[in-house]
Amino acid sequence: MALRFLGVDPSSPGGDSPSLFYDDVDDSYVIQGWRVDEATMTEVLAIGEVPPHETVVRLPRRMVRFFLDSNGEEQG
């Protein structure tokens, strides 16, 4: 895995989370985010199951600008 750091939430206290990475081996994003609260998880589970090998995290909208494609260009 070759992770490339894309950015950290500029409003994060301490500057350590949430963070976004790009994995150029499998063309995917790796997200470090806040755990969702119980109320949010209840809403998620009302839509469908979250498999044991998956998790749900929260990422602030202001971080969308860090989502880059493999060429480093912002996606629309």
> Partners of 23 in the beta sheet?
3, 28
Q: What is the pLDDT of residue 69?
A: 54
The residue segments making up the domain with residue 34 are: 3-66
Q: What is the pLDDT of residue 76?
A: 43
Instruction: Give the DSSP letter string of 7-76.
Output: EE-TT-GGG-SSEEEEETTTTEEEEE-EEPPHHHHHHHHHH----TT---EE--GGGGGG-B-TTSPBP-
- Give per-residue pLDDT as tens, 1-60: 689 898 898 888 776 789 999 888 988 889 999 899 999 999 999 999 999 999 999 988
The span from the CA of 9 to the CA of 18, in Å, is 6
Could you tell me if residue 31 is inside a domain? Answer: yes
Could you tell me if residue 76 is inside a domain? Answer: no
Could you tell me if residue 30 is inside a domain? Answer: yes
Could you tell me if residue 8 is inside a domain? Answer: yes
Q: Which letter does DSSP use for residue 4 in this model?
A: E
Q: What is the pLDDT of residue 2?
A: 86
Q: What is the pLDDT of residue 72?
A: 52
Could you tell me if residue 14 is inside a domain? Answer: yes
